[in-house]
Structure 1
């Protein structure tokens, strides 16, 4: 589970998450939240990012204008059909990630890159705040050589402009298999806002994200 060793408040959150795990439905079947209409639209593309805990990453992406749906899941590892418990050991090689279904006539891939780097710290290796391990690494998974070139150029620009205090350590890798996470992890932030982890970690990150991406968000 989460590395809640940094505060008593986060330890309480661990207990809450453990209770959620008791009701888990495992497997790699696609969550019902993926809109069938979305998947059939000609202008809808898919992008895959990992920026630490997928609970917050998913919620941030959902707020972008032009994003149709976001699915939390696992990618970048070797174990087939991994479960949350398995990837939480850090031994499967997977990262907690999200797949973003977006309307390419409304939002560009470059704006998604902008949002990705606004939503987390890409300079901390295998760590985001209290979450430590390779499963929390910063990573972008590309589908085409064109996407890879765009990612590399964007990172080069950020480093050249010293946007962050340290060098970007984001992994850039070809997308392989993406496994949707268990049902209880989908839209977790939306339905668990009183969770101590949401209050102390995810909510502050989300508020900073909204400030940085002002003008590019859906109307609330």
Structure 2
């Protein structure tokens, strides 16, 4: 690794490597050596930019959570277009086919990482809590447009959708949910509140 490389470049290189290792080999394989080997740099590079490996992992998780902002904005902008169920099924599939499921497993797997995240993330599991907020915001927008019932319990529907979708996608090494499974799940959960023509 040449000296003088901007910190942001090093962070992105290491975060990208961590994501690849995590997706390919799971949380138990995510070590500082695996990350630096995957990134093609010396192990010392990681330790020059982060206090320790758990500090690196905490920043990696928060960086991936921050990337969800654009997904949340796109989903909110979809309010009033397509179908509520179709928009939700597409958003949930995109979310859980990403690194999200692997990050949840990583946070669950590492006690020290959870402790570090609690310093800046006081409640819930990063990714899942952001996902609940994303879905709740979308459902509230659809409620404001009259496409779901005015008394729809958005704050209950959002975590129900996220939790059930997570169960469908939780087996990282298994097959994707069968075609239509996400659509059926969404229809079952929101069917009673949808008011679309």
TM-score range, shorter chain: under 0.3
Give the TM-score normalised by the residue count of structure 2. 0.28
Q: Which has the larger radius of gyration?
A: 2
Larger helix proportion of the pair: 2
Give the TM-score normalised by the residue count of structure 1. 0.26
Larger strand proportion of the pair: 1
